[in-house]
């Protein structure tokens, strides 16, 4: 019955006319799997029904627990004409209402939505606000800040009109250019007609998709940056001398590394005992090894001074890392909305509108209402940013305290 469909008939006819006689274009594997699955479920129901009809004495040897099936549903009444009855309704009116309220009534809209979603996913896959690939390198503070500034500048370029926003504009223009007059006319000249048309609703939906993408990008980048910084912050620090400093780090749980994944991908091969031991030892050694310092500081003893100074004040390190954190979040505030760019002829007097993006609260937001009976209280939606900022600040301030204590020993 499936092969008798018009579409498959045409494919079979084309395959027969082909000189090679290749009929591999018609694949029935999936539908056969569905039929076999349906058949297997039906057989299971028949077996369990027949089994439950046996006396309880026989069931004891077959079923260990006291199994009882729910009562069967009464059989449905068979309609006289073999059709499912539906209430009386005005189909043209219902269909008209559906078309009026739905955006997905044109192929161009659906294709544009698919392409826009693909671009949003690609942005998330290829971009992060902060550069955390420098793990294992020891840098000066200014070098670190310069690397992060370069990464933030790249994000600005990739998300503005010359990047992500520009690509979305091209997708909509190429999809809707041939639509012409109607709900999705991108050449509409009347602002009032546009306000009540579907193009505005469509662009509003795209705006929400873009904001969701920016929020996801911000959360993932902040999470990676916090994890990156916390890797270098010890739990305890004991400075005994210039040549002897003991740092105690929290060891992360062992996870499968690239070597494990590479070995798992080798099909048809098994690791020897020596290879397994070497792999496990490498993992344990890398886990037990303390990370290399992130920042390098110099002790400078100036003439006529008894106490040396650091090349960079430890408190300045804290402030510069927090500046990098804030600059990365603030760069998301300048991503323009697509509507004024796409419809410049309708928004001539308006400036650029920016997408709503996460912004760190300048002081700790309230987590609970002062009055528990106040149902209108809503917690700050950016409280996660404050928590990340506070975690980094508190950990860094704690980690630089031993540096000041060590300098005091020269006094």
| Per-residue pLDDT tens digits for 86-116 | 888 898 999 988 888 888 888 889 999 999 9
For the cut 50, the answer to whether the pLDDT of residue 71 exceeds it is: yes
Say how many CA atoms lie within 13 Å of 112 toward its Cβ. 26
Range in 6-15, 168-177, 321-330 with the lowest mean pLDDT: 6-15
For the cut 70, the answer to whether the pLDDT of residue 52 exceeds it is: yes
For the cut 60, the answer to whether the pLDDT of residue 255 exceeds it is: no
Mean pLDDT of 227-251: 81
Q: What percent of the chain has a predicted confidence (pLDDT) above 90?
A: 34
Give the start-to-end residue ranges of the domains of the chain. 108-233+316-370+378-408
pLDDT at 267: 40
Q: What percent of the chain has a predicted confidence (pLDDT) above 70?
A: 86
pLDDT at 17: 66
* pTM, rounded to two decimals: 0.70
pLDDT band at 81 (very low <50, low <70, confident <90, very high): confident
Mind listing the pLDDT tens digit for each residue in 321-357?
Answer: 999 999 999 999 989 999 888 888 888 776 678 999 9
The residue that leads in pLDDT, 229 or 68, is 229
Return mean pLDDT, the chain: 82
For the cut 70, the answer to whether the pLDDT of residue 383 exceeds it is: yes
For the cut 90, the answer to whether the pLDDT of residue 265 exceeds it is: no
Mean pLDDT of 41-67: 81
């Amino acid at each position: 019955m499936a092969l008798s469909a018009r579409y498959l008939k045409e494919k079979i006819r084309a395959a027969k006319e082909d000189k090679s006689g290749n009929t591999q274009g018609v694949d029935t594997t999936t539908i056969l799997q569905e039929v076999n699955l349906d058949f297997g479920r039906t057989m299971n129901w028949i077996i369990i029904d027949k089994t439950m009809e046996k006396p309880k004495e026989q069931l004891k040897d077959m079923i260990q627990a006291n199994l009882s099936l729910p009562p069967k549903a009464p059989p449905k009444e068979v309609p006289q004409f073999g059709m499912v009855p539906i209430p009386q309704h005005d189909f043209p009116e219902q269909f008209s209402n559906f078309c009026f309220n739905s955006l997905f009534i044109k192929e161009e809209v659906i294709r544009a939505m698919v392409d826009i979603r693909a671009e949003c996913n690609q942005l998330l896959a290829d971009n992060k606000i902060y550069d955390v690939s420098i793990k294992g390198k020891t840098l000066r503070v200014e070098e670190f800040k310069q690397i992060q500034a370069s990464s933030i500048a790249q994000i600005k370029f990739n998300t503005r009109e010359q990047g992500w926003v520009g690509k979305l504009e091209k997708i909509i223009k190429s999809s809707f250019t041939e639509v012409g007059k109607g709900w999705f006319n991108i050449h509409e000249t009347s602002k009032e007609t546009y306000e009540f048309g579907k193009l505005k609703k469509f662009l509003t939906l795209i705006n929400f998709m873009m904001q969701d993408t920016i929020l996801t990008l911000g959360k993932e980048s902040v999470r990676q940056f916090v994890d990156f910084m916390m890797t270098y912050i010890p739990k305890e620090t004991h400075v005994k001398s210039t040549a002897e400093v003991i740092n105690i780090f929290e060891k992360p749980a062992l996870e499968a590394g690239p070597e494990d994944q590479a070995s798992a991908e080798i099909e048809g091969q098994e690791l020897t005992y020596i290879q397994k031991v070497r792999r496990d030892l490498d993992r344990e050694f890398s886990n037990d090894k303390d990370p290399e310092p992130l920042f390098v500081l110099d002790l400078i003893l100036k003439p006529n001074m008894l106490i040396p100074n650091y090349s960079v004040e430890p408190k300045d390190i804290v402030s510069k890392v927090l500046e990098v954190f804030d600059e990365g979040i603030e760069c998301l505030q300048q991503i323009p909305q697509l509507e004024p760019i796409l419809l410049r002829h309708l928004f001539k007097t308006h400036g650029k509108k920016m997408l709503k993006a996460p912004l760190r609260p300048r002081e700790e937001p309230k987590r609970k209402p002062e009055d528990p009976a106040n149902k209108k209280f809503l917690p700050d939606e950016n409280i996660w940013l404050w928590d990340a900022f506070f975690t980094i600040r508190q950990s860094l301030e704690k980690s630089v305290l031993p540096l000041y204590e060590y300098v005091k020993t020269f006094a």
